[in-house]
Amino acid sequence: MNNKINKKILAVGLFLFMILVILSVIYWQNSTKHQAKLLTEAIVQKDYAAFHKVTPSFNDGTKLNKETFLVFAESIPKKDKEAEIKKRVNNDSLFEKKKGKSWFAPTKFMPYPRYFGFENEETSQVTFSIGKHLLSGKGKRVGPLIGGDYPIDYTVSSPIYGKMQQTQQTDLRKENQTVTLDEKEAFIASKNFQEKLLNQVVSYYIAMNQGLQNDLDFSGVTQAQEETKASLQQTFDELRPYIESVEQTFQKFVMNSESLKIEGSSQPQAVFDIYTDVALSLKANNKGKRAEEITNASHNAIVTMEFDQETKKWLIYSIDFETYTQQPDDWAHTNEVTLPEINQARWYKDGRKQGNI
């Protein structure tokens, strides 16, 4: 009888022990510590399915999709990556730990949503990305993102200045961040914008040489304002009776990038210094005597360009060579265009045409 009782007690004890072991395992699997371990492994392995089990959404209920997860996982430096992830997972300012209401409900790690705001001119369009991931949002605010330190690339498309891309290192670990862009100053410093302006000057001179070759007809000069083009045409129309030939050559143009400034807002003007090897020479009649040669080989000029609202282009307003001598070697920051060969044009009163356009 005693043996039967002992066996029953042993069986009950073994059953209770097994129950206790099972409950302990379940408790451990659902514990905050173990869930943190699973979350860390999911981030290291970029396993969204495993991540989603521990982190189903942001703490405010906002959906947390795979793209947002990958942006976070790929932003963590490779050096000491696992240790860094553990630190972030257990950071209470990044993840809210929501413990289950029972032993059978695992702890969930719900990240606080973070947003990156961007303020600039209303007329411009902006796109944002981190690495290969294009970010979405409402207006000029992107997110939500998991708190992290992100290099956010933004591309600004302005109807006035063109396109510009910059990278903003943004720390979203503690709070949201907002960047205010001074568009005018940003584009002044943009190499692409500087090159656009300088190339327009080069195109203007190429078109001018084509006009010399075309019997002093400058109607094809589309790089300048109508008033500027008309003034150029008028100057040569007035000179025509008194000159026998005209020659112009050039190859090199250098912009002093630090001199560039933008003036005005509704109809902005760009003003900057250039150095160029443009050389213009004219042979003028001298009442039957030997023709007199007049040359102008000034190398420094101040260029003023104006944004034309109709054509949506920067057009030359003036190129003023009445300025002090400067050497591009002394300029700290420059943009330069050097043509493959010298651009040369000649006009002769007798109709001969020679040149290299």
Q: Block means of pLDDT (10 residues each) for the chain, length 357 residues?
A: 59 51 45 79 93 93 94 87 88 88 78 92 86 81 92 91 90 92 90 95 97 95 95 94 93 97 88 96 76 81 94 94 89 96 92 57
Q: Classify residue 122 by burial, with Cβ atoms within 10 Å: 0-12, 13-18, 19+.
A: exposed
Q: Percent of the chain scored above 90 by pLDDT?
A: 55
Q: How many Cβ atoms sit within 10 Å of the Cβ of residue 289?
A: 7
Q: Classify residue 183 by burial, with Cβ atoms within 10 Å: 0-12, 13-18, 19+.
A: middle
What is the per-residue pLDDT for 249? 96
What is the per-residue pLDDT for 21? 43
What is the per-residue pLDDT for 297? 75
What is the per-residue pLDDT for 9? 57
DSSP string, 45-110: TT-HHHHHHH--B-TTS-B--HHHHHHHHHHS-STTHHHHHHHHHT-TTTEEEE--SSTTS--EEE
Instruction: List residues bridging with 243 in a β-sheet.
Output: 284
- Alpha carbons 185 and 329: distance in angstroms, whole number: 25
- Alpha carbons 158 and 121: distance in angstroms, whole number: 8
What is the per-residue pLDDT for 183? 87
What is the per-residue pLDDT for 291? 66
What is the per-residue pLDDT for 107? 86
Q: Which residues contact 230 (CB under 8 A, 6 or more apart)?
A: none
pTM as predicted: 0.77
Contact assessment for residue 239 and residue 212, using Cβ atoms and an 8 Å cutoff: no
